[in-house]
Structure 1
Amino acid sequence: MLSRRGGECVLTTDQAASYLDVSSAEIRRLVRNGALTATSAGRTILVDEASVRRRARLAAGRGRPLDPSVAWAALWMASGERPDWVDQRTRTRLRSWLRQRTPESVATACRRRADVHDVRVLPAYREAVLSHDGVAASGLTAASDVGADVVAWGEHVAVAYCSRGVLDELTDRYGINGRGVPNLSLRVPRAEAAAIVARRTMPAAVVAVDLLEDDDVRTRRAGADLLDRCLRENLG
């Protein structure tokens, strides 16, 4: 059964393992590498139920994930931008690959692009975090900026990308922590971050993939529609 801690639904490692049909040791590995969000209560690991459900959706997709730097290049190209960190041969192959993919399969292939930190900050500091240099908005936070057909109501979990150094700085300055119900999802690219986060808003295809990974059905639909439009307009 689900437990509640600080208002959020959590699972023990055994419950998460049963949900994903893997071993408890695999759950602990996924927590260590950032694929699942978790907190500790003494010696007990409590895994965020929403992150387990996201993992289950991604696991349902087929195919191996792209290398992180290639995944970012694919999302740049789907957004109509040039990924200068990969060579021309890789860009040519990616263009062909993207033309054969659905929005959902692109999202699945790009699932290892970043380490996800679902955290909480005092509401009074949230906008300061999102406007900090080196933080690039995505997901629902950036949906209106890229023309996604979805509106964020209430205090949604704000999605943004930043480097590991910026994350450490934000944690020290604003007291970001993993306790309570998350109101921020800060994502650190598993690739050279400088070129990726050097903007205020992530490219449309990145926003779309983050929407596709949301728990809300309408948000996922908006992400699929946005990514489908990106693929048609930039790779058609």
Structure 2
Amino acid sequence: MSLLAVSEAAERLGVSTRQVQHLVARGELRSLARGVVDETSVERLLAVRRGSHTRAWAEPTAWAAVALLSAREAGWLGESQRSRLRGRLRGLGAEELVERARGRASVSRYVAHRSAGDRLRVELVDTSAAAERLGLVATSAIDGYLEATALKAVVARHGLMRDDRGTVTLRATSLDLDVVRDLVSASDVLAALDLAESLDVRERRAGIDALERALGQFRG
């Protein structure tokens, strides 16, 4: 695991040290000790932002964007909010969508004993199965959503160890998981967003391409 001083992280991201502290507080960067952050979390944020400093949407708006692109109603937003969001989506490219929608969940990565895989998947809304449909080879990696209130218990129950290069990705959200399941069944938009945040070039490209297609269909 590589470490960076907050000042080094700020220089790489092109922000102030105070902004780095805000990013840590929001869970977008991982702090390992006072004044030190994990380098991989910086690399992931750079991959998502790609030089931009666009502010992420609030969680309900980010999920509404996924819903609208998946031909769902996003009833947790008012009609006027949905109308404005539809207009914004028509003007977005895939790269900006990835950056805007990153607030849909708090993401953390772990390593797990191989025996934990099947048991862990049962507790998640798993998006990794979409990888093959998006042109990637099957993977044993675990990537899924769970309720934010359940995160600590799941980590403890399965003996997960925090590691930003691990193959278990947990995405903690406050959205009802039944809604997340419906979105996963409706389209590959959510899975594409997850892939587009990857440090793996092929995964990121597959995610971006799928999002461009979804945005094109949405514009009609």
Within 5 Å, which residues of 2 pair with 1:74-93? 74-93=65-84
**Distance of 2:164 and 2:216 partners within structure 1:** 41
Q: Which position in structure 2 is the counterpart of 1:72?
A: 63
- Higher percent of residues as helix: 2
Within 5 Å, which residues of 2 pair with 1:1-236? 5=1, 9-40=2-33, 45=36, 47-59=37-49, 60-61=51-52, 63-132=54-123, 135-138=124-127, 140-144=128-132, 147-153=133-139, 155-156=140-141, 158-178=142-162, 181-189=165-173, 191-198=174-181, 201=184, 203-236=187-220
**Distance of 2:95 and 2:118 partners within structure 1:** 30
The total of aligned residue pairs comes to: 218
TM-score by length of 2: 0.84
Deviation at 1:172, TM superposition (A): 2.7
2:59/2:105 contact within 8 Å kept: yes
**Aligned Cα root-mean-square deviation (Å):** 2.6
C-alpha change, 1:200 and 1:226, in structure 2 (3 Å) is closer
**Letter aligned with residue 100 of structure 2:** A
1:39/1:179 contact within 8 Å kept: no
TM-score by length of 1: 0.79
**Distance of 1:178 and 1:162 partners within structure 2:** 16
Q: Which deviations, in whole Å up to 9, do the C-alpha atoms of 1:109-139 show, x marking residues without a partner?
A: 112222111222222102211122xx1112x
The runs of at least 4 consecutive aligned structure 1 residues that moved more than 6 Å come to none
1:208/1:227 contact within 8 Å kept: yes
The secondary structure found in structure 1 opposite 2:103 is coil
**Distance of 2:183 and 2:112 partners within structure 1:** 20
**Distance of 1:194 and 1:31 partners within structure 2:** 26
**Distance of 1:128 and 1:232 partners within structure 2:** 38
1:136/1:197 contact within 8 Å kept: yes
**Distance of 2:16 and 2:80 partners within structure 1:** 40
C-alpha change, 1:129 and 1:21, in structure 2 (3 Å) is same
The secondary structure found in structure 2 opposite 1:117 is strand
The secondary structure found in structure 2 opposite 1:111 is helix
Q: Which deviations, in whole Å up to 9, do the C-alpha atoms of 1:195-231 show, x marking residues without a partner?
A: 5434594742111111111112221111111112222
Deviation at 1:104, TM superposition (A): 1.0
Q: Percent identity?
A: 28
C-alpha change, 1:224 and 1:180, in structure 2 (3 Å) is closer
**Letter aligned with residue 55 of structure 2:** R
Which has the higher mean CA deviation after the structures are superposed, 59-68 or 83-92? 59-68
Unaligned runs of 5+ in 2: none
Unaligned runs of 5+ in 1: none
The secondary structure found in structure 2 opposite 1:161 is strand
